[in-house]
Amino acid sequence: MTRLNRRGFLGGAAAAFGGATLGAAAPFNILPARVHPAVVSSVNGLPYMEKALERLAEGDDTLDVCVWAVNQVENDPEDQSVGYGGLPNEEGIVELDACCMHGPSNTAGSVASLRNIKNPVSVARDVLLHTDHVMLVAEGALRFARSMGYPEENLLTEASRKRWIAWRAARSKTDDWLEPGEKFGTGAPRPTGKRETGTINFDAVNGKGEVSGCTTTSGLAFKVPGRVGDSPIIGAGLYVHGKVGAAGGTGRGEAAITACGAHLIVEEMRRGAHPKDACLEAVKRVVEMNTIPYLLDEKGRTTFQCQFYAVDVKGRVGAASIWPSPYAHGDGDGVRKAQTASLYE
C-alpha cells in the first residue's frame, strides 16, 4: 500500500468533504462486488434514511452521509438523548460524546465530555481530518472545536431543564452513587427511574461496498459529570473496518464498553456471520459479563437494555438487543422500522 504523507492526506481529505468524496483521497479503496446502498440505525434515524440513501446513490462519501444524518438528530431539541436539548448531567450541564469512522481509509475521530457545541459528531470528524489523533476530551475538545469555528451555545432547553429539576427533587437510588459494598452485594435490583440512555448510531454502505458509521449522544441522563459511555469509544459504541463492515450500539454504555461490543460484531462478520447474528453475539457477551447483583432481576436476567446495529460490505444489515426493541434500516426496497433479534422476550 502506498503511504501518503500527513499533509497530502489531510489536504486531500479536507477537499473531499468540501465537495468530492473522501474515498478519492484515501490511502486505499475497497471494491467488492456491486451492492445496493443500505443504511441501518437506531429508530431515531428513520426520518433521514430516505435522503441518506439518495445521497449514497448519487456518490456522496459514506461518512459525509452518516454525519449529515446524525446532525439532524443532534439539531432536534425534541430528541432529549442527543445534541441540542439533550438531558444534562447531575449538575444540569449538557455534556456530549460522539465518534465516527471512515471505512475506505480505516480512520477515526472522537470527542468526549464536550460542552457548548451542538454537533459533536462534526467535531469528531474534524479530529479525524485535521489531527493525527483519534480522541479529544473535555476542555481540549472544546478548544479544538472553537479553533475549527464552531459557535458555542447553551444546549440546555427549557424542557430538558424541567426534567432535570424533577429528577433532582426525587433522586435517591436513581442516581449513580452506590452504597458501600453495593456493587458486589446481593439484594433487589436498583430502581432505574426515568434514566434515558438514548443515542443515535448510524451506519452506511454504498454501491461500491464502502462503509462508514457514526455514534453520538448526550449520554446517560443526569450522569456524574465527566462520565463517558460507549458512544465515543472506538470498538465499544462504534467500529468500522473497510473490508468487513460497520457496527454500533445504544443503551447502557458501561456494558458495551466492557464487552467491546462494536468490535466484537465486526470480528464476527469478518468470520462470515450475518450482521444480525453478529449483533446477537455481542448481546450475549454483554449479558454473560453482567454479574452485578443490582443489574439482575429475580430470574437472573439482565435488567438494562443494549441494542446493536450493523451493516456489512455486501449490503446486508441486522440488529439485536437484550430486550425487544425497534430499529430502522433502508435499502433498495425502501426505508422501514423493524424489530431487533432479542435475547429475552
Among residues 21, 197, 199, 302, the one annotated as catalytic is 199
Distance CA 312, CA 29 (A): 15
Main-chain phi, psi angles of 39, to 5 degrees: -135, 155
- Residue 131, classified by CB atoms within 10 Å of its CB into exposed (0-12), middle (13-18) or buried (19+), is middle
Distance CA 288, CA 259 (A): 9
Distance CA 154, CA 92 (A): 11
Which positions ≥6 away from 141 have C-beta within 8 Å?
111, 112, 113, 114, 123
DSSP characters over 116-181: S-S-HHHHHHHHHHH-S-SEEEHHHHHHHHHHTTPPP-----HHHHHHHHHHHHH-STTSSPPPTT
Active-site annotation holds for 197 = no
Estimate to the nearest angstrom the gap between the alpha carbon of 177 and the chain centroid. Answer: 25
Signed CA dihedral, 139, 41, 289, 197: sign only: positive
Output DSSP code: residue 183: G
Which helix (DSSP H) or strand (DSSP E) does residue 341 occupy? strand 341-342
Distance CA 160, CA 154 (A): 12
Active site residues: 199
